[in-house]
Structure 1
Amino acid sequence: MAAATLAEALELWRGDQLAEAVSEPLRAEATRLDQVRTAAIEARLEAGLACGGHRQGLPELQALCRAHPLRESLWAMQITALYRCARQADALAAYQDLRRTLAEELGIDPSSRLRQLEAAVLAQDPALAAPERPRSRAGPLSFPTPLAVTERAPLVGRADELRLARAAWASAAGGTSAVVLVGGEAGGGKSRLVRELARGVQGPDGIVLHGRCNEDLAIPYRPFVECLSSVVAQLPDEVLDDAGPQWPAELARLVPAVASRRPDLPAPPPAEPNVERYQLFQSVASLLSALARQSPVLILLEDVHWADRPTLLLLRHLSGLDLGRVLLVATFRSSGRLYGPLLEALGALPPEARVTRIAPHRLSGAETTALVRASAASFGECEDELAEALHRQTDGNPFYLVEMLAHLRETGALGAGQVSSVGDLDVSAAGLPDSIREVLRARLARLGPAAERVLPDAAVIGQEFDLAVLAGSTGLDDDTVLGVLDVAARAALVEEARDPPGRFRFTHALVQQTLYRDLGATRRTRAHARVALAMEAVGGRGPGELAFHFQAGITRETTGKAFCYARAAGLAALATSAPDEAVRWHTAALNALPPNRQDEEHVRALVELGTAQRHAGQPAYRETLLAAARRAQHIGADDLLIDAALACSRGGFSKLGEVDAEKVAILEAALGVAAPDSVERARLLAVLAGELIWHADHVRRIRLADEAVEVARRTGDVAALLYAILQPGPATSVPETAEQRVRLLREAAEIAQRTNDRVASCHVVLLLAPMLVEVVCPDGIAHALDEVAEVLAQVGEPWDRLMVPVVQGCDRAEAHAGGVLRIGTDGGQPDVQEMHAELIYMIRWQQGRLREILPRLREVAAGFEDLPAYTAGFACAEALSGDAERARRMLRAAADNGFDAFYGISWLSRTCQWAEVAVEVADLDAAAGLYTALAPWKHLFAMSGPLPLHAVSLALGRLAALRGDAETAAAHYADALRIHEVVRSPFGIAQTALHWGRLLRRTDPQRARVLLDTAADLAHRFGFRDIARRAADGR
């Protein structure tokens, strides 16, 4: 309440008060008013922290601390917020920033309150933990219709399973989300069990959401769409607002109902596929967390053995998050054939997921007897014998048992009167079917010929079906169809949904499957064709559902519709970050066309398939798009050639260390037909520059990138200018372009902010931060690294998580390494293994544990002999922890080659690594050449993409010390220490202090002792084992 009231008061502020005042009294009053406003802001932020709003308030606190660097109360709140965001290292760094500022500006230390706060952060004092946010309750949501069924039999034999499920719910309702996986055979009682759980949850103290997967119709994210649609439709605005400002635009791609709640919602800007998917997943998580802050939430996802891959990825993602009071329950069949994606998903649940696995057992003889006794019929003295016979027949499968009892009643084998023995039962009249499906076939046959005409078409529609579509498919009037459905409902094979009217469903998936599978191939195809036309006529169906039926019922007359709807389904799937489904639909669209077609429609379909394959991380995208480009050239379709060439780029280069000559040829061909000053030309130039990252001619790369920006400026299209700046990536990454790259990215940041392009803003932040580190910009690094930390909390971009070691210690960085691998794998990032390996290399180097990975490095080195960026790293590992003689041979070979003629990405860090090798093996000749190469760049920090190394001055200092020039070495070390402090690199500071201290041991032992103590202290705090050992030896 206090935070809201203060926020409302601050909205009345209309800018600087009395800004034009010239008299002293008015200026004094203006100052007073500004101080009142600042105090109100502080009070609002403090109230927000007290309510658990540390994440929401952190960006504003960081900005305020930059604007008011001497205001301790703001710094105290920022440090607290950082700590509560699990950023202890950043909290301590913020304290050090304040300490330095106060010392430089006022010559004082922080107050005792701030010193105590630092001590509490270091000690991880529980008193600093975030308070639990106040919990309010949303109004009750309606109970999901599929769960509101009349049970045909009581729940028997499930006491243990229900106890486990209820215990998981109680734990989740207490505050920490969890997952329950219910797996078992068909008819094993999985759905019955979760319905019983749901009935106990629904009410003032719980919200139940439900979604189901379909065997044949794999609509992307279907069960989540069903769950979230009801949430969006029913919750009040204040609950939805609590999810944060970012979620609506992302979630609208998945749940169309969002647009009706937010009519002015802008479309989310495009981003890389893995970033788009991650943001979509986070929007779902934000909404569920907001809902859980109102009431505990039970999410039931049924039949996930039929789930599409996007659904399983989202399930896995949510499993690893703490969503608050959320229990996620998924049911699946664990017998028979398990689909590959399900096996992968169940085997790759995050280690932090709290998972309960439940496998409902078959009913025992005693439990079968209890079920028979609880049924509606009366069997007198023969109940036990009947139960024993049925148990032998069904082997305790609950659904089979219930169906057998219904079958026996319907056939008259169990009359209304009591019987005295099993022998009195007219078993011969009914027979005892050998399987569940045989029972169902017998029961369906008794419904009559009208049902035999109507129900198979209903089964073709799916587990759920509409009266209007079914009437249209069968050609019967509504009343006739309703009469058949009434008969089926009395037999408990079909039930009517409560909402909306005219909607029906089969009571069990096995009923629908039995009807569907009993159709012959010809009848099934004809039924799908009828259903497709009926759905199209009725309207209101998505392209995926129409495409499925038109494809399954394809005829010569409906080929065009099958193509069009499959194409539309593919585009819709891609728009909802379901690229695997998009590939499936675009492949189906192409298969619907005659194989030898070479017209524009065919080429466009190829471009769309290749684009979907690229988003899905499928290597086949390259050949698909190259084929599309060649066919476009052949038929003179210049626009499609340009589309194919642009689509063929996944951002930056195609393959590590290589130039893709075929892609380059297609890009050059597209440039040959692109208009001179067009958006397309700007984009093609930018893509070509990125493709040539590994080309020997760095001048050409830089020229192409510069031309892309110039053309984009002339078009006046700001989106094209953003693309031209960002797309080439590290193509221009050579030391002399460092300042220009920073200027361009700052311009891109302004454009992204002006156009409210959140994705581009994130992209700029993640590119600009390492470049500001590279040029050692003291005014921008701290802010940029804060922004990086905030962005990484929102965007799942694995490559940029390599920035972590520059601002955090080894343990925190290693915790991120698994996230790099998981996010990259989920997003289909082709180079994620290399990214992960680079991060592990850096961590092991800092930890002094390179020896542990040397065997693996030596294996990998054999495959990267022609990639100097890796050769330098391998040699450095050998020099520091392995075979010095091998490192010396590698160094001499590199020196003979001029330390790699390739001048481009990572040249600076690679050359610094060779300097490390030269010093460790004491090669004076190599050291002289390396010093000459590095000296012009002594003011820079060596970066390998986003991966930080150290200041170039550190390498120069070590090279100078090796050559015996102590004075020059000391000057370089002084520069390196300043640079490492500016960029917040504990490892760089410790390295510099170590080597400088060792240099001064004879000439200035007191200064040497201070430096070595600094190195040792940092090494112990951050886990730099090798530095700790060397510092101890030096002392």
Structure 2
Amino acid sequence: MGEWSAPALPAGWTISGQPPFVARHDEVAALESAWADVLAGAGRVVLVSGEPGSGKSRLVAEVCTKLHAAGATVLFGACALEFGAPFEPFVDPLRALVAADRSESDATGRGETDATSRVETDATSRSESFELLDRVLTRSIHDAEARVAGPDRMFDAVLDVLQSATAARPIVLVLDDLHWAGPAAVRLLVRVVVGMQAHRLLLVGTFRNAPPDRSGVLVDAVASLNRLSGVERIELAPFTTEEITEYVMANAGLTPSGARDSAEALSELTGGNAFLLREMWRRVVEAERRDGARIIELPDSVGDLVRSRLATLEPAQRVVLELAAVLGQEVEVNELVALDEASADHTLGAMDAAVRAGLIESPREPGDRYRFPHAIARQAVIDAMSSGDLLRTHAHIAQTLEADFPTTPELIQRLAHHYSAARALGFGDRAITYLIRAAELSEHRYASEDAGRMLQQAAAISSDAGERGELLLRAAADWDLAADTARARLLYEEVAETGDARQRLRAAMGYEDASWRPGLLGHRARDLLSAGLASVPEDPADPLYVEALGSFARATAFTGSVDEAERIGDRAVELARALDHPMTLASVLRSTSTLTLRPRGIAKRQARSRELLELTRSTDNEWMAAATLHIFANSYLLGERADLEASAVALTEMSRKWGGHWNYWVACLRFGRALIAGRLDDAAVAYRQAQRDEIAFRGDATPGANAVQEYMLRRESGRLDPIRRVITGEESPVEHWAPGLLALYTDLGLETPTRRVLDWLLERTESSSADSSVWSARLVFLAEAALLLGDAEVARRVHAWLSEYAGLNLMAGIFLAPFGPADCYLGELESLVGAGDPMPRFESALDLAERTGAPLHVARTLAATAAHLRRVDPRSREATDYAARARAIAAPAGMARVLRSLDSADATAAAAPGGLTSREREVIGLIAEGRSNRDIAARLMISEHTAANHVRSILTKIGAENRTQAAMFARERGLA
């Protein structure tokens, strides 16, 4: 994007007759300093807040006008209170950039432009971004293509366009009245601030920070942005008496002493509010000049001020001004003339009278608009109207605009606003019609939050139960697309309780779909689906019934009843195939390919995921991402590296298009892949991104799946020790997640607490626990605890459960906790109990780890193999070779856990004759004291069977034939 003509400055900035700009010296300096930083190549954000009338817009206008005069490119956008377009205040600035790009493309060709000014980002992506914004911002909704992406693609397109523009020139982007921005625009604001930190953009935003205009959504966003470098907050304080004195001197031409008395009176009357000061200073100065009056009767508020000025108008003139106020902050002359039932001369005469009264500003040139001097002045005119007059005025405006101005900008939003305001007069149906159309426009522009809000508003107006249910279902789908699954679930639940039979079933399906992705348990979804299915006929030929069965299967799986879920899912797939309806089959495959991560049936689930991918490949919707995610998860379990890499690329592209919860899954994907590759710094970056995405995705900041990722990262990078300071060893397994507590005790080497929680868990572990999504994590943590304690009895029990996973990688969740080959754990357990031949297990594990492309798993398997060989022969040269290979991988990558295990094994081999473990050294010392197996079990608080296993292992390792020889061995080597 080369040379181009930027839009003109807002007319309100350049009108003559404004009072001189005074004070605000520090604020001006801050803005000018920020612009200097931008000229030097940095991105800067200045957020200006204050009460209504404090002078926010005037400050920004003054500084930006000067910057513009000095050659700066200034783009301006503002929010409207009642009927703003989706993504206001970004729309006008983006339209200007898209139009400039289109003009340049027509003149020079896209290729030349890309070659010269889009050097930082792929040219194809930039071109697609300009085309996307061109389509959604400048074309009719009816001319647009079907939506083939999610809101995040729109956000990325905005960043592409802004980055391309600022690569050619530094830009000032002014966003006025952000307190009226919709939730989608606020989310875009955050993305722009974060994404433009390294680009030459000065973003200046203004907003009110006091009720009733204070926006909770914006407040939360600003709080998060304040933590970023390059973001500055300016809060405008009321003018001081000294500053008011300066203002009076500049306006009235008085000396400092002459202006001081008027300034003191004005300070008391206005509280230092800039708007009130502008409106009242003249009367105060004139009164002082006339008679030096110290008591001046002036309005107590803006409302009183406006009412006093309204009283100077004739009734017919006042009606015209009220029409103007309800029309908007800026008023088109032709619309006002059409609305006034008198002649055009009467309308213009009435507005002239309002201008003379100081209630509105006249157009400065042909084609310009009337403007209220401030939003609070306009609101004061509206507040002075009776409720009946206000309703009738809204209705009159809506009907006139609809009949006479079919092409006026933002007509749909305006009609939605005016008809909604007039619904008490019988315009509810029209309000619903235009709210729906406005929502569709928001959907077209990827403003899903705005669409959901308007559809909810339409539902609240509707008196028809069926229509209300449909509107709420659509609203819930929009909130879900905006990644606000919590709000979506609330709406789905409402319809599931109040809609008709088929609406209740559809709502139950929506609730379930908005539940499993954040990882919520399926009990509530199953209850809703069960009731919904019971309310419709059991009809295998009904696509809705069949799809609901698939959803019911997934909800059942998320209650832990996986066997039952698979039976239901198989039936749903069978019925879907019989229907010969591709999208019904795709829906059921999507539901049933993610029932569990357990090994049984993995080939069937992988085949379903592949079939789903083929069914949806031509549709270009986000179901492709669901198929890809499941293929990715299964490919890790199976160790299919090529599919892992291909799925990762595809899922990343899906995330770029659809955003929302797919951003979270991609962050998990990046975390897991970096972790198993031993790129622990990259894993930490991905973990933090997943943490941010999980909070946005789940709708709260409570610890979730991300806590498991943090643990995995800490344990592999050796950063668990700081937690030791807050661990007592007495933590309750009821109040904490018991498997996680066991893992923490084990990693910290706290044997007594480990034993306590291990026993507690084993007492409560049933075969049905295998249906849990965290069963593999539980098995890993049980195995590691058994290995720490040297408990052969527990090792055998865990080995039996773990055998089902032989030949596969273990993973809890989808890359929340990738543990690596199950065969490695099986080999370690076999080595501990002295059963079987562990070496084939380790060889199988090493092969799987290498096929997976997971250096972390390779290093751990090599270390485990070395530990086994040293258990058999402390002087094993083969063990030394395995350990060296493991260390060569682990040391450069900082795999602290692997290195610690290698160091521990080396120390044990050097210090312990016969390769005895620490627990075995305790046991042989008790043998030397003449203790029986029962005595040993009691002393060490282990079972007699475990004590016997330790004795057999000791005799094997030291080559002793009986306990007497073992006792002699202990005394000779100082172990007794």
**Same fold, TM exceeding 0.5?**
yes
Q: 1:891 to 1:364 in 2, by over 3 A?
A: closer
Partner in structure 2 of residue 115 of structure 1: none
Separation (CA, whole Å) in 2 of partners of 1:711 and 1:397 = 70
1:458, distance to aligned residue in structure 2 (A): 1.9
Partner in structure 2 of residue 193 of structure 1: 59
Partner in structure 1 of residue 208 of structure 2: 333
Out of 859, 870, 895, the position equivalent to 1:990 is 859
Separation (CA, whole Å) in 1 of partners of 2:211 and 2:132 = 35
- RMSD of aligned Cα (Å): 4.0
The letter for the 2-side match of 1:876 is A
Q: 1:734 to 1:376 in 2, by over 3 A?
A: same
Partner in structure 2 of residue 916 of structure 1: 784
Establish whether residue 777 from structure 1 lines up as the match of residue 640 from structure 2: yes
Q: 1:508 to 1:918 in 2, by over 3 A?
A: same
Partner in structure 1 of residue 706 of structure 2: 836
Q: 1:752 to 1:624 in 2, by over 3 A?
A: closer
1:165, distance to aligned residue in structure 2 (A): 0.6
Separation (CA, whole Å) in 2 of partners of 1:500 and 1:822 = 51
Partner in structure 2 of residue 564 of structure 1: 433
The letter for the 1-side match of 2:347 is V
Out of 668, 671, 676, the position equivalent to 2:541 is 676
Q: 1:235 to 1:439 in 2, by over 3 A?
A: farther
Are the aligned partners of 1:400 and 1:436 in contact in 2 as well (CA < 8 Å)? Answer: yes
Number of residue equivalences: 872
Are the aligned partners of 1:467 and 1:503 in contact in 2 as well (CA < 8 Å)? Answer: yes
Out of 806, 809, 814, the position equivalent to 2:684 is 814
SS class of match (1:911) = helix
Partner in structure 1 of residue 932 of structure 2: none
1:769, distance to aligned residue in structure 2 (A): 2.3
SS class of match (1:555) = helix
Partner in structure 2 of residue 656 of structure 1: 520
Separation (CA, whole Å) in 1 of partners of 2:648 and 2:885 = 24
Separation (CA, whole Å) in 2 of partners of 1:213 and 1:511 = 17
Q: Deviations over 1:356-387 (max 9, x none)?
A: 12234444455434433433778899456545
Separation (CA, whole Å) in 2 of partners of 1:859 and 1:649 = 38
Establish whether residue 297 from structure 1 lines up as the match of residue 171 from structure 2: yes
Identity of aligned residues (%): 25
Structure exhibiting the larger radius of gyration computed from Cα positions: 2
Are the aligned partners of 2:245 and 2:256 in contact in 1 as well (CA < 8 Å)? Answer: no
Q: Where in structure 2 are the equivalents of 1:713-728 lying within 5 Å?
A: 713=577, 717-728=581-592
Separation (CA, whole Å) in 2 of partners of 1:731 and 1:256 = 39
Q: 1:373 to 1:556 in 2, by over 3 A?
A: closer
The letter for the 2-side match of 1:773 is Y
Q: Deviations over 1:612-665 (max 9, x none)?
A: 5655736565565355345555xxx64x34533433333563863442342231
Establish whether residue 1008 from structure 1 lines up as the match of residue 879 from structure 2: yes
Separation (CA, whole Å) in 2 of partners of 1:322 and 1:431 = 51
Q: Point out where structure 2 has 5 or more consecutive residues left out of the alignment.
A: 907-976
Establish whether residue 532 from structure 1 lines up as the match of residue 382 from structure 2: no
SS class of match (2:168) = coil
1:404, distance to aligned residue in structure 2 (A): 2.2
Partner in structure 1 of residue 926 of structure 2: none
SS class of match (2:636) = helix
Partner in structure 2 of residue 801 of structure 1: 667
1:156, distance to aligned residue in structure 2 (A): 1.5
1:331, distance to aligned residue in structure 2 (A): 0.8
Out of 904, 909, 912, the position equivalent to 1:1033 is 904
Establish whether residue 743 from structure 1 lines up as the match of residue 607 from structure 2: yes
The letter for the 2-side match of 1:344 is D
Q: 1:137 to 1:861 in 2, by over 3 A?
A: farther
1:519, distance to aligned residue in structure 2 (A): 2.5
Partner in structure 2 of residue 625 of structure 1: 492
Q: Where in structure 2 are the equivalents of 1:519-918 lying within 5 Å?
A: 519-537=385-403, 538-539=405-406, 540=408, 541-570=410-439, 572-573=441-442, 576-578=445-447, 580-594=449-463, 598=465, 600-611=466-477, 617=484, 619=486, 621-622=488-489, 624-626=491-493, 628-629=495-496, 631-633=498-500, 638=502, 640-651=503-514, 653=516, 656-660=520-524, 661-669=526-534, 672=537, 676=541, 678=543, 680-713=544-577, 717-728=581-592, 730-755=594-619, 757=620, 759-787=622-650, 795-796=659-660, 797-808=663-674, 809-827=679-697, 829=699, 833-850=703-720, 852=722, 871-881=738-748, 883-896=750-763, 899-904=766-771, 905-918=773-786
Out of 142, 147, 152, the position equivalent to 1:268 is 147
Out of 833, 846, 851, the position equivalent to 1:977 is 846
Separation (CA, whole Å) in 1 of partners of 2:686 and 2:256 = 67
Q: Deviations over 1:462-504 (max 9, x none)?
A: 2223334434544344443233334444666434678993643
Q: 1:283 to 1:719 in 2, by over 3 A?
A: farther
1:545, distance to aligned residue in structure 2 (A): 3.1
Separation (CA, whole Å) in 1 of partners of 2:804 and 2:731 = 33
Establish whether residue 224 from structure 1 lines up as the match of residue 90 from structure 2: yes
Separation (CA, whole Å) in 1 of partners of 2:48 and 2:278 = 21
Separation (CA, whole Å) in 2 of partners of 1:620 and 1:293 = 39
Separation (CA, whole Å) in 2 of partners of 1:651 and 1:383 = 65
Out of 27, 33, 40, the position equivalent to 1:174 is 40
Establish whether residue 424 from structure 1 lines up as the match of residue 315 from structure 2: no
Taking structure 2 as the reference length, what is the TM-score of the superposition? 0.79
The letter for the 2-side match of 1:321 is G
The letter for the 1-side match of 2:61 is R
SS class of match (2:819) = strand
Separation (CA, whole Å) in 1 of partners of 2:79 and 2:207 = 10
Are the aligned partners of 1:924 and 1:963 in contact in 2 as well (CA < 8 Å)? Answer: yes
Separation (CA, whole Å) in 1 of partners of 2:616 and 2:153 = 18
Are the aligned partners of 2:126 and 2:161 in contact in 1 as well (CA < 8 Å)? Answer: yes
Partner in structure 2 of residue 942 of structure 1: 810
Q: 1:629 to 1:694 in 2, by over 3 A?
A: closer
1:277, distance to aligned residue in structure 2 (A): 3.3
Are the aligned partners of 2:309 and 2:358 in contact in 1 as well (CA < 8 Å)? Answer: no
Separation (CA, whole Å) in 2 of partners of 1:255 and 1:504 = 30
Taking structure 1 as the reference length, what is the TM-score of the superposition? 0.75
1:979, distance to aligned residue in structure 2 (A): 2.6
1:351, distance to aligned residue in structure 2 (A): 3.6
Q: Deviations over 1:224-267 (max 9, x none)?
A: 23332333344326489868656898899988654539998632
Partner in structure 1 of residue 251 of structure 2: 375
SS class of match (1:875) = helix
1:1019, distance to aligned residue in structure 2 (A): 4.5
Separation (CA, whole Å) in 1 of partners of 2:555 and 2:351 = 62
Are the aligned partners of 2:86 and 2:182 in contact in 1 as well (CA < 8 Å)? Answer: yes
1:279, distance to aligned residue in structure 2 (A): 2.8
1:901, distance to aligned residue in structure 2 (A): 1.1
Partner in structure 2 of residue 452 of structure 1: 318
Q: 1:204 to 1:1024 in 2, by over 3 A?
A: same
Q: 1:141 to 1:574 in 2, by over 3 A?
A: closer
Establish whether residue 308 from structure 1 lines up as the match of residue 151 from structure 2: no
Are the aligned partners of 1:792 and 1:801 in contact in 2 as well (CA < 8 Å)? Answer: no
More divergent stretch after superposition (190-199 vs 364-373): 364-373
Establish whether residue 464 from structure 1 lines up as the match of residue 330 from structure 2: yes
1:952, distance to aligned residue in structure 2 (A): 1.0
Separation (CA, whole Å) in 2 of partners of 1:206 and 1:759 = 42
The letter for the 2-side match of 1:662 is D
Establish whether residue 317 from structure 1 lines up as the match of residue 188 from structure 2: no
Q: Point out where structure 1 has 5 or more consecutive residues left out of the alignment.
A: 1-134, 271-275, 415-421
Separation (CA, whole Å) in 2 of partners of 1:823 and 1:499 = 50
Q: Deviations over 1:133-171 (max 9, x none)?
A: xx8444433434454433602222233211211221222
Are the aligned partners of 1:205 and 1:295 in contact in 2 as well (CA < 8 Å)? Answer: no
SS class of match (1:223) = coil
Separation (CA, whole Å) in 1 of partners of 2:486 and 2:832 = 48
Separation (CA, whole Å) in 2 of partners of 1:888 and 1:543 = 68
Separation (CA, whole Å) in 1 of partners of 2:859 and 2:495 = 54
1:548, distance to aligned residue in structure 2 (A): 2.6
Q: 1:174 to 1:188 in 2, by over 3 A?
A: same
The letter for the 2-side match of 1:306 is W
